[in-house]
Amino acid sequence: MCQVDEEYNGQLEHVATPSVSKKCVKCKESTAVLIIRAVDAFCRCCFKEYFIHKFRAMLGKNRIIFPGEKVLLAVSGGPASSSMLSQVKEGLSRDAPKKLRFVPGIIHIDEGGASGQSMEDRRRAVAQVESVLRSSNYPYHIVYLEQALNLPSSVLEVGSSATEKLQTGPSYKAAVDQFIQTNQNLHPDLFLENAWSHLSSLSMQEVQNGLSNPITPENTQALQRLFASVRTLTAKEDLLQTLRQHLILHTARTEGYTKVMMGDSCSRLAIKLLSNISLGRGASLAMDTGFSDSRYGDVVIVRPMRDYSSKEIAYYNRMFDVPSVFIPGLDTKAQDKASIQRLTESFVNKLQTDFPATVSTIYRTSEKLHTACPPQNTNSPTFDKCLMCACSLDTNAEEFSAFKATLISEQLSQRRGPGPGLSLGTAGAPGPPPASFTGQGQCRSSDEGQRMPATLDLKSLLCYSCRLTIKDMTAVDILPQYILAEAERKKRRITQMKIVILGSLK
């Protein structure tokens, strides 16, 4: 028993390691080849069944995908998204029992411009990914990150949900029937089997030319300038994530996809959860790591791979020959402390080796998170959504909040003294009352004065963590045109609204 002067002389017993010829826990016949969740040993066949079943179960449990719906698969080439692609192929194949019924398309984004790869390497990587995509026989779109600089500013608008009315119906079956009926009325020739033949008749060339403008070295340089202006790797990764989302959203909207499937695995989501908290994105945790993400309204992002650990995925890909392409990214070979995301990843992985329940505990916690506020009605203005990440603004600094304290200390530590108000609704801010939005800032004559108000003005439209990302940039006007244009537009609308309100008060 635990006594004060008892000593353990290092005679602690080792946990008994499994013997070499352990039997599968499911069929109890064949030799096990893999250990999942630290205790369950599976044989090859049982593992395959388990893996395929989990995908179907995930889609079936969260009844979000309607038959005949167009779904865009975001395939980066990495193991998780390649695995997702192979599961979709498997599920849609003719001889699968209870086969899935939706219409897939694929998008692949070439991010080599941001991570500084040479054109030669990028071409090679894209060619490899393309050969994988071609073998799936689904229409695919290869998009370059440089195109993110030329997006229209409408991509930042939150669309109204097309399926909102459907989901308030009494049951899933009724919703599906309604969906089928509306679709049949709208596009009688684009439904289910007709949709298949329509898609297969599209030549790959046509689909590609739809979006891929040839990228010029100027575009690549502009992109590199953008990323070079960001000081920390953390902010770079955050910015990359934002641009990627916008590109996928734009493709989905222009090509008519209403759902997007991302290949985030359980391990990846656990890391994302913890690093998002560190980045200040706590308010949107439920959307960032949940199964479905409906912040963009008309396009819903789903994560069907969120139940698979990265070990299971890697093993399945190896055993059943799922092709995947490794493309080095921004943080390849980076040190452990290079960015918040990297540090979190190494922390979780190290903890996982000693405590195998780490990732699943974090995952289960994330399942219990829900957004506190009721869903926005479409009438409420989009002013209270962040400009870049479209989650609700969480920067209403209340009197005694920690956020308010950081704002005050920031104002005090600025050499210039308090400038135009940092956020819209700061009640009782010290110093002069907040100037009008189009006023004080633009009257300054010095160039530096011009830049400072631009940063401050953007801040009022951003959530806390997007503000931190922008703060890490040396110059705000390097941001892509569509973001700056949309910011201008929003500010004008806010001004007009304020004028109307003030006018009606008189």
With binding defined as CB under 8 A, does residue 33 bind other proteins?
A: yes
Beta-bridged to residue 106, according to DSSP, are 73, 140
Of 346, 360, 396, 440, which one interacts with other proteins (CB under 8 A)?
346
82 burial class (0-12, 13-18, 19+ CB within 10 angstroms)?
buried
Q: Are 72 and 261 in contact (CB under 8 A)?
A: yes
Collapsing DSSP states into helix, strand and coil, what is residue 440?
A: helix
End-to-end CA, the chain: 80
Q: Could you give phi then psi for residue 216, rounded to 5 degrees?
A: -100, 160
Q: Which is nearer to other proteins, 197 or 332 (CB)?
A: 332
- Based on the shown chain and the rule CB under 8 A, indicate whether residue 148 belongs to the binding site for other proteins: no
Among residues 91 and 112, whose Cβ is nearest to other proteins? 112
Stretch that binds other proteins, among 90-98, 126-134, 267-275, 440-448 (CB under 8 A): 267-275
Comparing CB distances to other proteins, the nearer of 20 and 427 is 20
Per CB under 8 A, does 318 bind other proteins? yes
* Shortest Å, Cβ 308 to other proteins: 11
Q: What are phi and psi of 229, to 5 degrees?
A: -80, -5
**Distance (Å, whole) CA 299 – CA 301:** 7
Helix residue ranges per DSSP H, 330-446: 340-354, 358-367, 402-413, 440-443
Strand partners, 259: 71, 300
Of 37 and 231, which has the nearer Cβ to other proteins? 37
Query: What is the DSSP pairing of strand 292-293 with strand 300-302?
Result: antiparallel
* Token pair recorded at residue 20: 């070499």
Q: Does 263 bind other proteins (CB under 8 A)?
A: no
Which string of b and e fits 175-195 if b means at least 16 CB within 10 Å?
bbebbbeebeeeeeebbeeeb
- Contact pick of 67, 323, 328, 480 for other proteins (by CB under 8 A): 328
| Site size for other proteins (CB under 8 A) | 35
Residue entry with tokens 């219409």: 103
* Residue 329 in the binding site for other proteins (CB under 8 A): yes
Distance of CA 501 to the CA centre of its chain: 37
Minimum distance, C-beta of residue 324 to other proteins, in the bound complex (Å)? 8
| Part of the chain binding other proteins (CB under 8 A), chosen from 338-346, 379-387, 390-398, 457-465 | 338-346
Residue 350 engages other proteins in binding (rule: CB under 8 A): yes
The DSSP result for 235-299, as a single string, is HHHHHHHHHHHHHHHHHHHHHT--EEEE---HHHHHHHHHHHHHHT-GGGHHHHHSSEE-TTSSS
Q: Give how far the C-alpha of residue 392 lies from the chain's centroid of Cα atoms, to the nearest Å.
A: 16
What is the closest distance, in whole angstroms, from the C-beta atom of residue 80 to other proteins in the complex? Answer: 9
Kindly state whether residue 196 participates in binding other proteins, applying the rule CB under 8 A: no
Q: Does 41 bind other proteins (CB under 8 A)?
A: yes
Minimum CB distance to other proteins, residue 41 (Å)? 7
Q: Which CB sits closer to other proteins, 303 or 342?
A: 342
**Site map for other proteins, 202-231, x if CB under 8 A?**
------------------------------
Structure tokens, 495: 């001004």
Residue among 30, 24, 93 at smallest CA distance from 56: 93
Binding other proteins (rule: CB under 8 A), the pick from 111, 307, 331, 457 is: 331
Nearest of 281, 407, 430, 419 to residue 344 by alpha carbon = 281
Task: Classify residue 473 by burial, with Cβ atoms within 10 Å: 0-12, 13-18, 19+.
Answer: buried
Residue numbers 371-410 binding other proteins by CB under 8 A? none
Q: Is 366 in the site for other proteins (CB under 8 A)?
A: no
Give the nearer residue to other proteins in terms of CB position, either 76 or 251.
76
The reply to whether 118 sits near other proteins by the rule CB under 8 A is: no
Chain positions 44 to 103 lying near other proteins, rule: CB under 8 A, are 79
The C-alpha atoms of residue 433 and residue 397 are separated, in whole angstroms, by 15
Closest of 363, 355, 364, 344 to residue 265, by C-alpha: 363
Task: Please choose, out of 26-34, 140-148, 184-192, 494-502, the segment that lies near other proteins by the rule CB under 8 A.
Answer: 26-34
Q: Is 399 helix (H, G, I), strand (E, B) or coil?
A: coil
Q: Which is nearer to other proteins, 284 or 310 (CB)?
A: 310
Binding mask 278-317 for other proteins (x = CB under 8 A): --------------------------------xx-xxx--
Q: Which residues ranging from 1 to 20 are in contact with other proteins (CB under 8 A)? A: 17-18, 20
Choose between 335 and 442: whose C-beta lies nearer to other proteins.
Answer: 335
Give 34 or 485: the residue with its C-beta nearer to other proteins.
34
Give whichever of 234 and 423 is closer to other proteins, judged by the CB atom: 234
List contacts with other proteins (CB under 8 A): 17-18, 20, 22, 32-35, 41, 79, 267-268, 271, 310-311, 313-315, 318-319, 326, 328-329, 331-334, 341-342, 345-346, 349-350, 352-353
